[in-house]
Amino acid sequence: MANKILVFIEQRNGQIKRASLEAVKAANNLAEKLSYEVTAVSVGNEVSDLDKINVQKVVHYKNNELENYSTSAYSDLVAEFAKESDAEILFFGNTALGKDLAPRVSVKLEAGIIMDVVEFNINDGNIIASRPVYAGKALTNVKVNTKKKVFTVRPNVFSLSDEESGSAQVEIKEVSSPNLACKVVEYKKAGGKLDVAEADIIVSGGRGLKEAGNFKLIEDLAEVLGGAVGASRAVVDAGWRPHGEQVGQTGKTVSPTLYVAVGISGAIQHLAGMRSSKYIVAINKDADAPIFQIADYGIAGDAFEIVPALIEELKKVKA
């Protein structure tokens, strides 16, 4: 029998998270090179589309008390299934849930763990995982010395194509008394719409916007682009925007397809959170601002002139 890779499928309100499907993709790529077999495991109550995951088989641990996340119950069940199925490698998405769950599972399996992987290679039969460190200022290639291995993959890196869906056989395992020593009892949705950590397009504003009210421009631009609103620390500290929107070293790390920075100077701690974005656009009236060093396209002008014009132009081409 082939060795196994197990992918954890994360759900919220019964909907599968995109980051998990990206983890499936990364796992399938690796499995092909190693001739391994890929299985998926999920935990929750009712979950849609488990059968559309691109693996042969999905095992779903089910109980209505498991609809919300529980560190204790989820880690027990995933580790138990990993042992039972003798999985050698585990994959998780590097999401808030994945970051909480994967390390606990790794200890139960005595497995080495590598977080936030952006690339996998095989060298002399060893899996070499690449991950950014020092807030993206350096990259490391890391190998796991233990037989069992746990990886979390950075969202938006192993991007999905249409062929990604499959027809999986779903096996439901009813859980009788989950270990709810830690339990999520409530979810409080933030005011904003789309979270920067999950968005494919982000429009961020900085101190160059002068005052909180002017963020309307950023919101409008984000809306025409169908993206999320982000912020620099300067404007979060000033109380213009909530901390949940902060991008950077002490905020969120994002890698969207498009990142638009408006009135942001490009301090090293801000770049730390967004430098791996695929395309970066900078709008800043100072042509020497460091943000232009990493931007693909820049306009060195006044945001209050450029952004409204950009919104108009986008509306035109999208019409």
Partner 1 sequence: MKIAVCVSHVPDTATKINIGSDGKTIDPNGVTYIVNPYDEFAIEEALKTKEKLGGEVVVISVGNDANKETLRKALAMGADSAVLLKDENQRDSFGIAKALAEEIKLQNAELVFFGKQSVDYDNSITGQLTAELLNYNSVSVVVNLNIDGNKITAEREIEGGKEVVETSLPVVITAQKGLNEPRYASLKGIMAAKKKTIEEKEAVAANLFVEVVEMKKPAPKQAGKILGSDSSAVSELVKLLREEAKVI
Among 49, 80, 100, 223, binds partner 1 (CB under 8 A): 100
122 binds partner 1 (CB under 8 A): no
Q: Does 52 bind partner 1 (CB under 8 A)?
A: no
Q: Out of 35, 125, 145, 162, point to the residue binding partner 1 (CB under 8 A).
A: 145
Site string for partner 1, 191-230 (x = CB under 8 A): -x-xx-xx--x-----------------------x-----
CB 285 within 8 A of CB 195: no
173 interacts with, out of ligand FAD, partner 1, none, CB within 5 to 8 A per kind: none
Nearer to partner 1, 55 or 306 (CB): 306
Identify the three-state secondary structure at position 199: coil
CB of 246 to ligand FAD, least distance (A): 5
229 binds, among ligand FAD, partner 1, none (CB under 5 to 8 A by kind): none
Based on the shown chain and the rule CB under 8 A, indicate whether residue 41 belongs to the binding site for partner 1.
no
Work out which of 104, 108, 207, 278 binds ligand FAD, going by CB under 6 A: 207
Which of partner 1, ligand FAD, none sits in contact with 175, Cβ below 5 to 8 A by type?
A: none
220 vs 40: CA distance, rounded Å: 40
CB neighbour class for 57 (10 Å; exposed up to 12, middle 13-18, buried from 19):
middle
In the region spanning residues 147 to 176, those forming contacts with partner 1, defined by CB under 8 A, are: none
Asked if 98 touches ligand FAD (CB under 6 A), the answer is no
Give the tokens for residue 209. 């916007």
List 7, 21, 73, 289, residue binding ligand FAD (CB under 6 A): 289
Q: In the Cβ-directed half-sphere of 241, how many Cα atoms lie within 13 Å?
A: 29
In the bound complex, what is the minimum distance in angstroms from residue 150's beta carbon to ligand FAD? 27
Give the CA count within 13 Å in the CB-facing half-sphere of 65: 15
Task: Compute the distance between CA of residue 110 and CA of residue 284 in angstroms, rounded to an integer.
Answer: 49
17 secondary structure, DSSP code: P
Contact between 126 and 66 under an 8 Å Cβ cutoff? The reply is no
| Torsional sign, CA 79, 81, 87, 91 | negative
Between the alpha carbon of residue 225 and those of residues 63, 129, 229, 258, the distances in Å are: 39, 33, 11, 10
- Report the distance separating Cα 209 and Cα 87, nearest Å: 51
Binding partner selected for residue 73 from partner 1, ligand FAD, none, CB under the kind-specific 5 to 8 Å limit = none
Q: Among 87-95, 151-159, 183-191, 258-266, which window interacts with ligand FAD (CB under 6 A)?
A: 258-266
